[in-house]
């Protein structure tokens, strides 16, 4: 035993500490060495993956660069930054496509990262591709609407189903809810809803305050869809700040943000908006869940239910032997689809029509005279009357020519094809824009002029250059439905307002605001 145990312990401790630190030093060096290998391999992997990706992008460029198109802003981004600039400048992005269509011809190329999209506006190719069931919807575009910022949204519903069989089964079952027999039975509701709009306008007129027509027709179209498609009367005209209406609007906005900027959700400044949009999508689906359950219970209790869209949605489920959660989700997909597809498209068309009627008193007078002649002193429109509004139909068609409210569709070209003398290699998206072809001089003379005469029965029919409801098997299911919905409010707008004297249009692009004297 040492005579100086304290000193001994200190020496022993310091030796132990030395050993400890030496071991720690070597193990750290070893781990650092491993870490550096790991980092090296990871960086190499990233570098080679990036190189491989660049080579792939180069390959795509070589494959499609014989097709004319605007110069790319950058090798990788392609035309993405051009779009971002155009959108930031508050310009209508579709006007850029019109300019490109005029400059580069009926077939031109757009690149974004490794994807090539071929924009086509020549009628023959439009006919060949859109009319054929063999060209499916582009999965890269439509699958992006399956979710909205990670929340299930349109899923595998009618608009977004890409697989032909999945889509066709739904469409076949849904068709009866849009048949003329069924629509005929809805005339009472259509008339009642436009009556409500009229009463509301009268109240506004009494207070001599401006009426924002775009907001009002938004409420009416939403009311109509809720009532005739789902049997629920919510009377949005009387509601202020309705969570359901806000949710529909937010989801529509979210779709545009998500489709136009795939990186939108990555920026912290957008997180609040993204969360609001996700909550809105959730609210729509939860509402669908509630309404579907209510109708199921009514059917089970033997109650008499209308043969509306909701009944057909349930029937789709029945025929598909729906019992799994997956198929239940598909019913909700279609619930959301009908609101998204039907409401804003119709409301915007009505708003644009009202705006153009306000801008053109002579067209307004002629439409009014036609309505007066057909309806006389009648207050309600019958299904038969609808076919007699020849001029009003021309006005509505011309409105959709200048302002197609769902301005295009995409198909996947799975095989090589020659379009307008150019070989288009298969494996790309083909974009058809009704906005572009409907605003081109080569198809419609003086295209920016609002002229319902273009749709006179004796005028030449547009040949595959006018398709606001798309064309072929994937044409709009609600086309006739929306026509009925659009004609009924016009009986009032035309007979009761005097826009030449009282109409004051603010913001010519979209928001129609009128001062009424009913």
What track of x and - describes contact with ligand HEM for positions 1 through 40 (by CB under 6 A)? Answer: ----------------------------------------
* 257 binding ligand HEM? (CB under 6 A): no
Distances (CA, A) of 129 to 67, 415, 462, 474: 18, 12, 17, 11
Task: For residues 257 and 280, give the distance between their C-alpha atoms in angstroms, rounded to a whole number.
Answer: 14
The nearest distance, CB 429 to ligand HEM, in angstroms, is 12
Q: Please say which residue, 82 or 117, places its beta carbon nearer to ligand HEM.
A: 117
Q: Please say which residue, 98 or 159, places its beta carbon nearer to ligand HEM.
A: 159
> Which one of 257-265, 294-302, 320-328, 470-478 is the stretch in contact with ligand HEM (CB under 6 A)?
470-478
* 346 binding ligand HEM? (CB under 6 A): yes
* 409 binding ligand HEM? (CB under 6 A): yes
DSSP for 78-140, written as a single string:
BTHHHHHHHHHTT--HHHHHHHHHHHH-SEEEEEETTEEEEEE--HHHHHHHHT-TTS-B-HH
Please name the residues in contact with 66: beta carbons below 8 A apart, sequence gap of 6 or more: 422, 423
* 338 binding ligand HEM? (CB under 6 A): yes
DSSP for 157-171, written as a single string:
STTT--SHHHHHHHH
Burial-class residue 231 by CB neighbours within 10 Å (0-12, 13-18, 19+): middle
Task: Give the closest residue to 120 by CA, choosing from 408, 397, 399.
Answer: 408
* 97 binding ligand HEM? (CB under 6 A): no
* 489 binding ligand HEM? (CB under 6 A): no
The nearest distance, CB 203 to ligand HEM, in angstroms, is 27
Residue pair 391/367 in contact (Cβ under 8 Å)? The answer is: yes
* 158 binding ligand HEM? (CB under 6 A): yes
Task: For residues 121 and 114, give the distance between their C-alpha atoms in angstroms, rounded to a whole number.
Answer: 23
* 477 binding ligand HEM? (CB under 6 A): yes
Residue pair 331/295 in contact (Cβ under 8 Å)? The answer is: no
- 476 annotated among ligand-binding-site residues: yes
* 470 binding ligand HEM? (CB under 6 A): yes
* 306 binding ligand HEM? (CB under 6 A): no
Using CB under 6 A, pick the residue from 330, 481, 493, 499 that binds ligand HEM: 481
- Give binding residues for heme as ranges: 476
Q: Give the interface with ligand HEM as residue ranges (CB under 6 A).
A: 158-159, 171, 225, 229, 337-338, 341-342, 345-346, 349, 400, 405-406, 409, 468-470, 474, 476-478, 481-482
């Amino acid at each position: 035993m040492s005579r100086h145990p304290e000193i001994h312990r200190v020496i022993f401790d310091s030796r132990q500490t030395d050993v400890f630190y030496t071991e720690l030093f070597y193990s750290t060096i070893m781990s650092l060495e491993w870490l550096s290998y790991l980092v090296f391999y990871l960086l190499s992997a990233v570098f080679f993956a990036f190189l491989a990706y660049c080579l792939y992008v180069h390959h795509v460029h070589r494959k499609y660069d014989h097709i004319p198109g605007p110069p790319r802003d950058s090798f990788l981004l392609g035309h993405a930054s051009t779009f971002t600039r155009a959108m930031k400048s508050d310009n209508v992005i579709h006007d850029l496509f019109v300019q490109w269509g005029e400059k580069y011809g009926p077939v031109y190329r757009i690149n974004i990262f490794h994807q090539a999209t071929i924009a086509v506006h020549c009628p023959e190719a439009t006919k060949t591709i859109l009319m054929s069931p063999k060209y499916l919807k582009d999965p890269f575009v439509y699958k992006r609407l399956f979710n909205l910022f990670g929340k299930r949204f349109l899923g595998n519903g009618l608009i977004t189903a890409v697989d032909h069989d999945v889509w066709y089964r739904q469409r076949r079952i849904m068709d009866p809810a849009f048949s003329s027999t069924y629509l005929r039975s809805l005339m009472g509701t259509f008339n009642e809803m436009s009556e409500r709009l009229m009463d509301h306008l009268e109240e506004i007129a009494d207070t001599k305050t401006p009426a924002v027509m775009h907001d009002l027709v938004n409420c009416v179209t939403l009311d109509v869809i809720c009532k005739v498609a789902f049997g629920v009367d919510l009377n949005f005209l009387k509601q202020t700040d309705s969570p359901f209406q806000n949710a529909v609007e937010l989801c529509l906005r979210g779709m545009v943000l998500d489709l136009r900027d795939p990186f939108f959700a990555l920026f912290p400044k957008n997180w609040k908006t993204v969360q609001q949009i996700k909550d809105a999508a959730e609210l729509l689906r939860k509402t669908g869940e509630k309404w579907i359950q209510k109708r199921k219970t009514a059917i089970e209790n033997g109650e008499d239910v209308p043969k509306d869209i909701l009944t057909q949605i349930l029937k789709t489920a029945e025929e598909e032997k729906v019992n799994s959660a997956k198929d239940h989700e598909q019913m909700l997909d279609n619930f959301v689809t009908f609101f998204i597809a039907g409401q804003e498209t119709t409301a915007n068309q009505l708003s644009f029509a009202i705006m153009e009627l306000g801008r053109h008193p002579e067209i307004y007078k002629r439409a009014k005279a036609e309505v007066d002649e057909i309806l006389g002193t009648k207050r309600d429109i019958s299904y038969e009357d609808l076919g007699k509004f020849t001029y009003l139909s021309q006005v509505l068609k011309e409105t959709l020519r200048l302002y197609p409210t769902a301005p295009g569709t995409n198909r996947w070209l799975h095989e090589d094809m020659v379009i307008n003398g150019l070989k288009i290699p298969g494996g790309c998206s083909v974009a058809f824009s009704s906005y572009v072809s409907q605003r081109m001089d080569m198809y419609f003379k003086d295209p920016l002029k609002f002229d319902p005469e273009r749709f006179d029965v004796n005028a030449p029919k547009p040949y595959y250059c006018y398709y606001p409801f798309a064309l072929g098997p994937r044409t709009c299911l609600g086309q006739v439905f929306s026509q009925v919905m659009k004609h009924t409010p016009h009986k009032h707008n035309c007979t009761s307002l005097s826009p030449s004297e009282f109409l004051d249009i603010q913001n010519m692009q979209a928001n129609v605001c009128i001062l009424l004297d009913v």
